[in-house]
Structure 1
Amino acid sequence: MSPLPNTRVVPADWSRHHARAAAGGMNGRCRIYDPTTETTGWDDATESRTLERGLPVYADACRIQALVDVRTEVQADEEVGRRRYLVQLLFDAPPLEKGWVLVPYGCTNDPQLEGAELVIDDIQLGTERFTRDIACTHKLT
């Protein structure tokens, strides 16, 4: 309830109004792909699998921050490391789904992050937000 009649404590466009300021902290870019649009093939010259991802559902600014230290687990008698990241996208990013793949680029502060495949495992929702926040996992090799 507002302290004054006909007023709101938080204006209806509060998030959208502040979204531009939050976007100013996004120093990287990323593409997000829906894996159901991928096609695979085989390259005889390199004797390796090929992957065509299809068109990205998002290709714009982002901010990527590690959430936790590397966690290791054993898979098929081999240790595999994983790291979780918070990724902030522009306020008006399209609807996303768990399992989609995010590929960073234009990461001038940490270029070794470029090309990593981060898998979306949580889409964070809220009534007030300045960015679209998602959590992703990177399987380290």
Structure 2
Amino acid sequence: MSQDRELVVKILDSIALLVSLDKKKIVTYADEKLHPSEIQLLMHLYHIQDTNITAIAKEMNLTKGAISQTLSRLQKKGIISKEMYPQNKNELHVQFTDSGEQLMAQLNKGKKSIEGKYRRYIQALSNKEKKTISDFLDKMVSIMTKS
């Protein structure tokens, strides 16, 4: 049983470390500091391209106010431009500025580098090992979201 307990402690410590590293990760681009919440929203907008504040808030597990504030900060930093649709206050027209497009290229390059490292590791695994990892991650998310 102590082996099981040690593994659970290692899992929880690893999660805590990853969360801590993510919270400390501040990116500087064009003399502007971007915080993790800003980067996460930028990545969401870039890949999902959803401009409904309510939908974004729900998907990111944040309040509509937090999304609006973050978008305003990004606009002030010159990363995005935004306009409200007059017909629907929950809908925005968000565009990346030229500076924002360059930032996203930089962020995506970093993300692809990390993805490549994981891909090389995973390619060496058997299908059974891959399924075990996938099942474990699904279960971990399920446990953490129900806590």
**Same-fold call, TM > 0.5?**
no
Larger helix percent: 2
Larger strand percent: 1
Structure 2 length-normalised TM = 0.28
Structure 1 length-normalised TM = 0.29
Greater RCO, CA 8 A, separation 6+: 1
